[in-house]
Amino acid sequence: MEEISIWLDTYDDLYSDFDSRKFSKRMVSEDFIYELKRNSKEMEAAPFKIVLSIPENVRRPELEPEIIDGLKKVFQKQFAFHDNQVKSLIRKGFIMTTIGAMLLLLAAFILIKHYTRASLNILQVILEPPSWFLIWTGLDDIFYESREKKEERAFYKKMQLGEIEFRSI
Consecutive sets of 10 residues in the chain, 169 residues long: mean pLDDT of each? 86 81 79 89 76 92 90 93 96 97 91 74 88 96 91 90 89
**pLDDT on residue 45:** 62
pTM: 0.79
For residue 51, the surrounding DSSP H or E stretch is strand 48-54
The pLDDT, as a whole number, for residue 89 is 95
What pLDDT, on the 0 to 100 scale, is given for residue 1? 72
Q: What is the pLDDT of residue 119?
A: 76
Residues with Cβ within 8 Å of 55's Cβ and at least 6 positions away in sequence, in order, are 9, 168, 169
